[in-house]
A and B are shown apart, each in its own frame.
Chain A
Amino acid sequence: MIRALVIAAIAAALLAPSGAAAATQTEIRIHYSHFDPSIITVPRGVPVTIVLRNDDPIDHEWIVGTAEMHARHRSGTEPVHGSRPTEISIPALSTRATVVTFADAGMLQMICHLPGHEQYGMIGIVRVVP
């Protein structure tokens, strides 16, 4: 199930227009337990400010990284994130901002690892372009 969702998200990212502008500031809205937009394009090697706006009355997470890193988070025990710029907890009805410098070009997944959220479709793609 999760694998299918991830594959669908990556496929959507691959099908998205490749000329999409890489932004150094972007906002992701969380609504009804989904990321909007679910695909963002950012430049490599430049600080990118990402604003995460949670419109839901429940807590969410925004965790971005490789498939291996997400595999670790699925069985992780950290209740709250915030010390790493790529791992942010966003309490209900609140906004958080983070600044991330992505070192390598490629596709990363952004996922909420709270129980049931990934299965529900809280998955997105960060496309890092040169």
Chain B
Amino acid sequence: MRRFLFAFPALILTMLLASTPAFACGGLIGPNGAVLLTRTTTFAGYHNGVEHYVTAFSFAGGGGAFGSLTPLPGVPSDVERGGDWTLQRLIRETAPIKQFAPAARSALTADSVQVLLQKRIDALDVTVLKGGGAAVGEWAKEHGFRLPPDAPEVLDFYAQRSPIFLAAVFDADAAAQRGQNVGDGTPVHITIPTPNPWVPLRILGLGKLSGEPVDADVFLLTDRRPAMLPAADRSHGLFVEHDAAATASLLNDLRADKGMSWIPQDGWLTKLRIAATAGQLTYDLAIDASGQGAPSRIAAGFGTSTPPVVPDDLGLIWPIALAGGYVAAALALLVMRRRQLVTA
């Protein structure tokens, strides 16, 4: 039976910034430590044991360079320029343009880092690294990244599960020379053979204070409704915005884009929105690609511990509190009765 799954996080990338005259966009950290809240879009997919990421690095103008680190679930077999309309088509699918009347129509732990792959894509220098959190952090620092104070813990969080990272440095000067306008993105398609797909989400909060907002989109396409961990609810800042069979027109359009011939014939499309604080975002998104409904706790970043359960609806607290009160009152009555019996 064919099994496939796509996961598209809108902004898997993020984060770290070159210390040189730096400029940032989409969730990157600015030179003065300020976090810019622009949203970027990323697509990741899984089909027949191969995960595909397509993400865009947007040109925000200015000069210098900025970079990002993306944790990956495995060693990529290829990194290439992404298609031209995949990301836009996905956004359009789940947020269709409103139709008006025609007249009104409008708009691991390792001691050192191993460089596995290096590639230049337009104005982007992409490097795939293998190494522990400390080693990757040291490499990034040596290559001009300015790591925020939470980076050591976050890099270890990922390296313990998969010591593979993708470092991307965007050369804004080269982008300007290429005639790229502010807001233009360079899509990158990463192909990762892995039996265990997951979408890195915690890294979206890198460099942000606990209460700062993280806003991103995650698209999933599976041959059935996907099983995910954590559950989409308010306590995780994770919300389902689209949940339906993928349309043939979407799949056809995606398949027609560059490097996207692997898109299957049918599937189930889910769109998740992340509207969390950085402090809430302590997890990644694990997806069960086997169809057995058992997403990995380890892939979600929960390890072997129990994930935090917070009532989604504050209204639930009162029934729970009332029930607890009744139990306590019942126990107190029992104790009083016993004492009366003993005294008698």
Contacts and interface: CB of A to CB of B under 8 A. Distances in A.
Interface of A: 1, 31-33, 55-59, 92-93, 112, 114-117, 119-120, 122
A112 B148 CA distance: 13
A46 B108 CA distance: 44
Interface string B129-142: 00001111110110
Given A92-B141, A93-B138, A116-B207, A57 B155 contact: yes
A32 B148 CA distance: 11
Contacts of A119: 209
Given A1-B209, A57-B155, A115-B33, A120 B137 contact: no
Size bin of chain B's contact surface: 20 to 34
A75 to B, nearest CB: 13
Nearest to B210: A120
Contacts of A112: 149
Nearest to A57: B137
8 contacts: A55-B134, A57-B133, A57-B134, A57-B138, A57-B152, A57-B155, A116-B148, A120-B149
Given A33-B149, A55-B152, A120-B150, 9 more contacts: A33-B153, A56-B137, A57-B134, A57-B152, A92-B141, A116-B148, A119-B209, A120-B149, A122-B149
B151 interface: yes
Contact of B134 (A1, A56, A114, A116): A56
Q: Taking each of B141, B149, B151, B155, which has the highest tally of chain A beta carbons within 10 Å of its own beta carbon?
A: B149
